[in-house]
Amino acid sequence: MPDACPVQVAVADKALDSDAVRADLKARAIEAVIPSLAGRTAPIPDDQTTYRRRHAVERLFSKLKQFRRIATRYDKLDETFLAFIHLASALIMTRKFVNTT
C-alpha cells in the first residue's frame, strides 16, 4: 500500500485465521478483524460491526467484475486501469441512485 493510504485494519474471513497471519499483522501495527475458526480452543474476540461492513466491499468487487475490461485486465498501464475502475464505480453509483428514485 502507498504511504498516503496507511492500513489500520485488516478484515478477512475465517480462512485466514492463523496465529502466523495475526502475528504478521500485529508486527505491522494493523488491527486484525478475523473471526475465529470453530476448532480454536480459545476464540479470539473480533469487531463484528467492522466485519459486517466487509460485505459491502465484496459486493462492490462483484459489481466491478461485471465489467469485462476490469475482469480481464485489458489495460497495460496502471493509470488507465485505475481510471476505468473510477469510471465503472461512478456508473455503479449512478445506477444505484437512478433505481432508488
| pLDDT tens digits for range 28-73 | 899 999 999 888 888 898 888 888 888 888 888 899 998 888 888 8
* pLDDT for the residue numbered 100: 66
Residues 46 and 61 in one domain: no
* pLDDT for the residue numbered 39: 87
Judge whether residue 83 has pLDDT over 60: yes
Burial 29-46 (b: 16+ CB within 10 A, else e): eeebbbbeeeeeeeeeeb
Residues 75 and 33 in one domain: no
* Range of the structural domain that residue 61 is part of: 55-101
* DSSP structural state of residue 99: H
Residues 60 and 42 in one domain: no
User: Where does the pLDDT of residue 1 fall: very low under 50, low under 70, confident under 90, or very high at 90 and above?
Assistant: low
- Does the pTM exceed 0.85? no
Residues 46 and 87 in one domain: no
Residues 23 and 60 in one domain: no
Q: Alpha-carbon distance 92 to 63, whole Å?
A: 8
Please give the helix or strand (H or E) that residue 88 lies within, else none. Answer: helix 78-100
Residues 76 and 42 in one domain: no
* pLDDT for the residue numbered 101: 57
Judged by average pLDDT, the poorest of 2-11, 57-66, 92-101 is 92-101
37 contacts 17 by C-beta, under 8 angstroms: yes
